[in-house]
Structure 1
Amino acid sequence: MADRLRDDVGELLRQTATDIVLPLFRRLDDADIVEKAPGDLVTVADRRAEERISEALRRLLPGSVVVGEEAVAEHPDLLRHLRGGGDVWLVDPVDGTNNFAVGRSPFALMVALLTDGEMTGAWVLDPLAGVLADARLGAGTRLDGKPVRAADVAAPPDGRMRGTAMTRYLPPAVRTRVEAGGARLGELLPGQHCAGREYLDLLTGDHRFVLFWRTLPWDHAPGVLLVREAGGVARRFDGADYHPGDDRPGLLVAADEATWSTARAALLDH
């Protein structure tokens, strides 16, 4: 992936946020919001942004395939491309739609690029904060154009760690264990209902780890590559590396290897 493409996709997300997403924030009518599944909303902003982003990505990389969250809702078979060859874009036009729909932050625009099944590019934009992170496989992660390494953020001197757990979807027994382990580690924050923002907060050092249960590919492929290229770790609960084509639940992401191991032992071991 060329650096020019890296910059072009970032600019595409910024422009889409400016032209489509932000003008609709706190200006949606009831008819602009639909429940596509119980508790899972989609808005006119999601659909318009995905259409704009998808068309532009195909132009930027001729012959590529786009797998967008809203397109998959209509055509689930699109997911087969995540294990295929060639260039495949993953698009989450508004991550944190439930927040957006009720006029609350955070929300994000996210894109990942897979090349022959491997994650090679990632972009996450928080348009309200004006923060853009991007990564290229083997070339590191940038935060607003400057190199960043999550692993370089100093650990708390008292050994207590701050992290986040998206407990809403956890099975009851796992939730109980995670909450107890989080209390032992230090401070366990509730999820923000926006995976993109959680990944950005790992890069900035606001927290050291984040645990997810649901692992929809558009929610995590961009953030996982951002964290990996910044020296962090993203693995399944059993220690297997994350891949967006694997739909199993459970993902633990941390700023570095030591934090991942410590968090896993506290949150998940019996």
Structure 2
Amino acid sequence: MADTLLDDVGGLLREAADQAVLPLFGKLDDDDVAEKAPGDLVTVADRQAEELISAGLRRLRPGSVVVGEEAVADDPGLLRHLQGSGDVWLVDPVDGTANFAAGRQPFAVMVALLTDGEPYAGWVLDPLAGTLAAARVGDRTYLDGRPVRMTEVSAAPGGLRGAAMSRYLPPSARARVNAGGERLGELLPGQHCAGREYLDLLTGAQQFVLFWRTLPWDHAPGTLLVRAAGGVARRFDGSDYHPADDGHGLLVAANERVWAQVREALLGAA
């Protein structure tokens, strides 16, 4: 891989956001928004940005495979590539589409690179804030070009702040999570944008986030960024998260101490 990989892909995401996403923010017509499935929206910005990003990634890595969220909506069989060999890109052209379609923030543009089935690099861009996080395996996480580490975040009782997407949890788990959040400190309802949740972990705005739905384009980039910065991303049972898994439940935290404390409070002791 070229040493410029992080910069090249980061630049591509900024270009796609500038050309296909930001010009349509707050300016979508009814015909520009559709439902792929009940409650699951897609906009012309999603499709145009995915086309631009996919073409750019193929130029950067000739012979690579691109698995985009919108392409998978048309052909679910593309997901088989996540366990294949070679370079495979995961693309979320507009993460937080419901926010974007309603003229709200946040939303993000995200990419992950898998090599021989394993996560190798990840990028998350908040186009409105201009914030870009990037990392690859064996290196540090960079937030707007500066290295980030989260290992020293304290897990003081009652002093944690984080989010839980409890609306998607089974009812019994939802009640337990909401009750446990009071013991941790501040439990937020989530921003309907996984990319922004991961960025907020990296900036220190929050120390944990709990997800139920774990679509690969939503979480492959962010989990790699968090892990490279010293954080933890695991399934509720403590097993490692992998983007090819089709299970539910993911707990992400700033470090091992925070992860253990949040898991016990929200999900019960191991």
Normalising by the smaller structure, the TM-score range is over 0.9
Query: 1:263 Cα shift?
Result: 0.4
Aligned 8 A contact 2:157 2:184 in 1 = no
Local SS of the residue matching 1:3: coil
Distance 2:167 2:144 in 1: 31
Matches within 5 A, 1:100-249: 100-152=100-152, 154-155=153-154, 159-249=158-248
Distance 2:173 2:3 in 1: 42
TM-score by length of 2: 0.98
Distance 2:157 2:119 in 1: 36
Unaligned runs of at least 5 residues, structure 1: none
Deviation by residue 1:77-104 (Cα, 9 ceiling, x = unmatched) = 0000111111000000000000000000
Deviation by residue 1:166-187 (Cα, 9 ceiling, x = unmatched) = 1121111110000001111111
TM-score by length of 1: 0.98
Query: 1:155 Cα shift?
Result: 2.2
Q: Identity of aligned pairs, percent?
A: 73
Local SS of the residue matching 1:113: strand
Distance 1:146 1:3 in 2: 16
Local SS of the residue matching 2:202: helix
Query: 1:261 Cα shift?
Result: 0.5
Distance 1:133 1:76 in 2: 28
Distance 1:181 1:163 in 2: 12
Q: What is aligned with 2:51?
A: 51
Aligned 8 A contact 2:91 2:217 in 1 = yes
Distance 1:230 1:171 in 2: 31
Q: How many residues align?
A: 269
Over 3 Å counting, the alpha-carbon distance change for 1:212 and 1:157 in structure 2 is closer
Query: 1:3 Cα shift?
Result: 2.5
Deviation by residue 1:177-224 (Cα, 9 ceiling, x = unmatched) = 000011111110111000000000000111110000000000000000
Matches within 5 A, 1:19-34: 19-34=19-34
Query: 1:140 Cα shift?
Result: 1.1
Whichever residue aligns with residue 155 of structure 1, its letter is S
Distance 1:7 1:121 in 2: 12
Over 3 Å counting, the alpha-carbon distance change for 1:55 and 1:196 in structure 2 is same
Distance 1:201 1:95 in 2: 15
Query: 1:157 Cα shift?
Result: 5.6
Distance 1:261 1:3 in 2: 36
